[in-house]
Structure 1
Amino acid sequence: MSPRTERPDEAFVLDALRGTRLERVRWVAETGSTNDDLSDLARNGAPEQVLITDLQTSGKGRRGRVWTAPSESGLLMSVLVRGVSPADGFWSVGAVALAASEAIGSRTVSACTLKWPNDVMLGPATDQKKVAGVLAQLVDDAIVVGIGINATWPDDVPADMAERGTSINRHLNDRTIVDRADLAVDVLRRAIGHLESDRETLRSTWKARCSTLGQHVRLELERGPIVGTAVDIAPDGALQIEDSGVRTTHQVGDVVHLRPAG
């Protein structure tokens, strides 16, 4: 078998991250799921690393939903982080989601925010749409955090995709093609910083970027919806909702933003 050849975009990311905790990077043309691939490696004791692909054929979203994107239209990557306990899970995911929101927001003319628990939203405050999602898998003392960012969509993207989501290039002045390698480096460098910050600093920064807080929301739960005002993110990452002076805390659920509170 001939030795594997580095792609130019992979070489760019490798060079930019050399000497950091995420200096091990592979970029492949296609795989089933970057999260599954790195989870298998994590079970076998693999060190911290990053896997990026142009195309996922079995990508997953939250709650078992299917996640798809045309080849090379998005930044699809997973990050293997070691030394993570279940109690650290939310904020390990939060560090990557926050990094993505900051990196995207530094490029666009529209605001980029976080929607609890792990969606990255882009657009004007009254019409934000999902630009990226994060999904994690705990494996022993490690966590694999996968993120899919819609980077460059064509003008003729299917109507159902455009209704539910958006892409970075649709929020640039010239709608240029987004350099995915440059975006990957930006996200990963920021993620390293957030992963290495103390919990309260990360929580405070995450909350400042969270568009869910202060909203009148409906939280969809298996036992039925909860309606109230999203007032805080607890130290463990749980969403706190207040209604008629009663505050409840929720670890999971799908949030619908109804309107700003007040």
Structure 2
Amino acid sequence: MTPRDASDDNSRWSDLERPPLDAAALRRALVREGGLWSDVRVVQRTGSTNSDLAALAVKGEAAEGAVLVAEEQTAGRGRLDRRWTAPPRSGLFFSVLLRPAEVPVARWGWLTLLTGVAVATGLARAAGVDTALKWPNDLLVTVGGEERKAGGILAERAGEDGVVVGVGINVTLRADELPVPQAGSLALAGAAGTDRDPLLRAVLRSLEEWYGRWREAGGDPAVGGLQEAYAAGCATLGRSVRAELPGGRALVGEAVAVDGDGRLVIATADGVREPVGAGDVVHLRPA
């Protein structure tokens, strides 16, 4: 699907409670000499910002630090190819292009966790809402005393030297608009602010800061403080979990650590500690 520029569609004003993003203002605020962000583009509607930005990267038409934001995504994707849809302008749906040449490829898996830390940090500052991270890529908020998913992150390779990281965050989604009962939004979690412009700026500035630290440390998550920050904000640690692993195997136990490779370490009832690098993790309720 070809993205359409937001300035070309008057329907963006159809819901005044959800005003459109101002691409020019975002560029003025974020694109600066010596900074990470090289361009910020806002499109009215597209299938997937990850797919669009990856295609531009492969063709050599996007530099590191390119940011693509969609007011509406019709084919947004999460892990395990799950779909992510929401009403127009009800959230932040964007992708960024990173080229971490200084970091060994073996450490690029930390980009998903790094982005989670950056998003949670940025939202805490700008929205005034407590957030937590579910390993490896979900953003959690509390709605009515219950843990709800309000966002997700998906990192994908783009050519030999690039990674596109996509972020989706439910901002103003109302209860009757939730795709599933387990979903949430910043508004439902009592956020002090839901204006998407300052939220996006705060998240991207936080991501620039964390990415810079990680890159300067050569991708070492301990040296840059990333591993400690992720563990501090991870709601999965200390919980009883079930990991649905590739091949149909399930692993049940307590999530006790995130290791140096970004894997979740699960301690089983028989005393075995097994690192999990891929799989679907479910937080189990206490007995």
* TM-score of the superposed pair, with normalisation by structure 1: 0.89
Query: How many correspondences in the alignment?
Result: 254
Conservation of the 8 A alpha-carbon contact between 1:109 and 1:171: no
User: Are residue 202 (structure 1) and residue 218 (structure 2) matched?
Assistant: no
Work out the CA distance in 2 between the residues paired with 1:118 and 1:206: 11
2:242 to 205, 218, 227: 218
Work out the CA distance in 2 between the residues paired with 1:83 and 1:220: 30
User: Are residue 11 (structure 1) and residue 24 (structure 2) matched?
Assistant: yes
Tell me which moved more, 11-20 or 127-136: 11-20
1:164 to 176, 182, 192: 182
Tell me which moved more, 85-94 or 179-188: 85-94
Work out the CA distance in 2 between the residues paired with 1:47 and 1:248: 39
Residue in 2 aligned with 1:242?
Answer: 267
Residue in 1 aligned with 2:16?
Answer: none
Q: How far is the alpha carbon of 1:190 from its aligned partner? A: 0.3
1:117 to 136, 159, 165: 136
Identity %: 38
Work out the CA distance in 2 between the residues paired with 1:142 and 1:173: 34
Residue in 1 aligned with 2:147?
Answer: 128
Q: How far is the alpha carbon of 1:146 from its aligned partner? A: 0.3
Task: Structure 2 unaligned segments of length 5 or more: list them.
Answer: 8-19
The CA RMSD measured in Å over matched residues stands at 2.3
Work out the CA distance in 2 between the residues paired with 1:41 and 1:130: 30
Cα distance change on mapping 1:125 and 1:247 into 2, 3 Å: farther
Conservation of the 8 A alpha-carbon contact between 2:126 and 2:202: no
Residue in 1 aligned with 2:174?
Answer: 154
Conservation of the 8 A alpha-carbon contact between 1:122 and 1:129: yes
Deviations 1:240-262 (A, max 9, x none): 1111321111111111111469x
Q: How far is the alpha carbon of 1:191 from its aligned partner? A: 0.4
- Partner SS for 1:29: strand
Q: How far is the alpha carbon of 1:91 from its aligned partner? A: 1.6
Q: How far is the alpha carbon of 1:9 from its aligned partner? A: 1.4
2:121 to 85, 102, 110: 102
* TM-score of the superposed pair, with normalisation by structure 2: 0.81
Work out the CA distance in 1 between the residues paired with 2:196 and 2:228: 28
Q: How far is the alpha carbon of 1:153 from its aligned partner? A: 1.4
What amino acid does structure 1 have at the position aligned with 2:140?
M
Q: How far is the alpha carbon of 1:15 from its aligned partner? A: 1.4
